[in-house]
């Protein structure tokens, strides 16, 4: 098998949650660029349609479905519908996630100030949404005896992170272990389950707060490479873990963080 064939996704069907912008959009783009038909999902219908158009304008094959990953029934139904209509579900990218507010360096982020409603909402999207995405994909991938599942965690799930709220760090750490557990169950079916742990990327999370110059500078000061990343920089790792090139990689969460975890 040649280099190009190892990374080709020709004929594959992928589903990406949180695909309307940021990392989800970049991952959707690279899957489509490699030949997959990509189903983009998000709660923001208008942004989702713009994302679908952007993927198609670059020559990719894509469709869009409005979906709230905290609605487990809707998520499972969407995966079932995609698999039934296209004949398979080959790639699931559980990317959708939200912020939990500031870290404990501010009064609002300290543990005694954590709001119950916010905690439950973050768990519903960042953890239960990822679990339901893996569960929905596993149903079809077990039957196919093949597949790739990617879960987007965070370096905040691998180490303490003063800039991130409690619910965010807790859910991202849980995703890391969820990846391990699911990988062990699905390995006999030739289904690879892996995580991606981004450091600071220039995305719309927290209302795009990281784009503010003072906030970006604060995050960049923590990164050995001295900068935060552009969403385009997620594409190489996402393609690797979605393709045959990762045929002996499962159960790991790989940091893509400019060196943060090496410190």
pLDDT attached to residue 204: 82
- For residue 230, what pLDDT band results from cuts at 50, 70 and 90? very high
Whole domain around residue 21: which residue ranges?
Answer: 3-262
CATH number of residue 177's parent domain: 3.40.50.720
Tokens (6 digits) for 259: 């060196």
Using DSSP, state whether 114 is helix, strand or coil: coil
Q: Using the predicted structure, report yes or no on whether residue 258 has a pLDDT greater than 70.
A: yes
Q: CA–CA separation, 234 vs 244, rounded Å?
A: 18
Q: What are 182-189's contacts with CB under 8 Å, separation 24+?
A: 182/134, 182/138, 182/149, 183/250, 183/251, 184/251, 185/138, 186/138, 186/141, 186/142, 186/147, 186/149, 186/250, 187/250, 187/251, 189/141, 189/142, 189/145, 189/146, 189/147
| Model pLDDT for residues 12-25, shown as the tens digit of each residue | 999 999 999 999 99
Q: Which of 3, 104, 166, 168 is catalytic?
A: 168
Paired strand residues for 65: 41
Tokens (6 digits) for 257: 């963080």
Does residue 85 contact residue 134 with C-beta atoms inside 8 Å?
Answer: no
Q: Using the predicted structure, report yes or no on whether residue 32 has a pLDDT greater than 90.
A: yes
Q: Domains in the chain: how many in total?
A: 1
Averaged pLDDT of the chain: 96
pLDDT attached to residue 41: 98
Under 8 Å CB-to-CB from 150, ≥6 apart: which residues? 27, 91, 92, 93, 94, 95, 194, 195, 196, 238, 241, 242
| Model pLDDT for residues 154-209, shown as the tens digit of each residue | 999 999 988 899 999 999 999 999 999 999 999 999 999 999 999 999 988 766 77
Question: Does the predicted TM-score (pTM) go above 0.85?
Answer: yes
- For residue 210, what pLDDT band results from cuts at 50, 70 and 90? confident
| Model pLDDT for residues 104-133, shown as the tens digit of each residue | 989 999 999 999 999 999 999 999 999 999
CB atoms within 10 A of CB 66: 16
- Write the DSSP symbol of residue 17: S
Q: Using the predicted structure, report yes or no on whether residue 36 has a pLDDT greater than 70.
A: yes
168 is catalytic: yes
- For residue 215, what pLDDT band results from cuts at 50, 70 and 90? confident
Q: Using the predicted structure, report yes or no on whether residue 8 has a pLDDT greater than 90.
A: yes
- Write the DSSP symbol of residue 127: I
């Amino acid at each position: 098998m040649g280099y190009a064939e190892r990374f080709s996704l020709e004929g594959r069907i992928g589903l990406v949650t949180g695909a309307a912008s940021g990392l989800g959009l970049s991952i959707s783009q690279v899957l489509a660029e490699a030949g997959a038909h990509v189903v983009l999902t998000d709660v923001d219908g208008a942004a989702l349609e713009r994302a679908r158009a952007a993927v198609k304008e670059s020559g990719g094959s894509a469709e869009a479905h409005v979906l709230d990953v905290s609605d487990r029934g809707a998520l499972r139904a969407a995966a079932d519908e995609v698999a039934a209509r296209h004949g398979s579900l080959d790639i699931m990218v559980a990317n959708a996630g939200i912020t939990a507010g500031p870290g404990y360096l501010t009064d609002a982020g300290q543990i005694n100030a954590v709001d119950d409603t916010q905690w439950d909402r973050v768990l519903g999207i960042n953890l239960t949404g990822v679990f339901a995405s893996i569960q929905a994909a596993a149903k079809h991938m077990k039957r196919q005896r093949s597949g790739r599942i990617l879960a987007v965690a965070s370096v905040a799930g691998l180490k303490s992170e003063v800039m991130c709220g409690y619910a965010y760090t807790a859910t991202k750490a849980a995703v890391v272990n969820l990846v391990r557990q699911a990988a062990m169950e699905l390995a006999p079916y030739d289904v690879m389950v892996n995580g991606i742990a981004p450091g600071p990327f220039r995305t719309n999370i927290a209302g795009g707060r990281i784009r503010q110059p003072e906030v970006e500078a604060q995050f960049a000061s923590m990164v050995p490479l001295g900068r935060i990343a552009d969403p385009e920089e997620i594409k190489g790792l996402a393609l690797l873990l979605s393709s045959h090139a990762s045929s002996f990689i499962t159960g790991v969460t790989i940091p893509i963080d400019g060196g943060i975890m090496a410190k």
